[in-house]
Every structure is written in structure tokens, then in C-alpha cells.
Amino acid sequence: MAPASALTSAVMLFFGVITFIIIMLLPAIMELKKPRDAGPKILEDYEQNGINLLRDMETSVKIDWTIIRQVAEIIAILPSLEP
């Protein structure tokens, strides 16, 4: 068996790498051509109202400093409880 020339090896390596890349990207290419998911959906009225309610709840949260002070006092006592 005669050793393969450098040109033949380089050509085979090139086509092997190209084939590998095409095989690895084939599922993505097929998904782009014919997607399984229809994409984002239009929100119905009741779904949009739920999102607005959550947004209102987030903005209506106010910090009560008395509760924060009480929690800080409790946390300050915890290290002294260890023997």
C-alpha cells in the first residue's frame, strides 16, 4: 500500500471537516426552513390583566422601616445564642 500524498490527505481532511459541520448544523437548518413552533402568542385579555396585576403588586410594595429594624435586632441577637 502506497502512502497517501499530502495533497490527498489535505483534501480528505477539508471535505471531512466540511461534512462534519454540515451534519452538525443540519437540524438547525431544517428548523429554520420549517419551524415546529409558531412563535410568540398573542396574549388574551385575561392573561394581560394578570400581568398588569403582578406589575401593580410590584410597584405597590413599600418598605416599612419598623419591620426592618425589628428583623435587624433579631439577627443581632442570634450570634450571642451560640454556646
Please give the pLDDT value at position 12: 93
C-alpha grid cell, residue 25: 448544523
Cβ-proximal residues to 26 (8 Å cutoff; 6+ apart), any chain: none
pLDDT tens track for 10-63: 999 999 999 999 999 999 988 888 888 777 776 666 666 666 666 666 556 666
pLDDT band at 75 (very low <50, low <70, confident <90, very high): confident
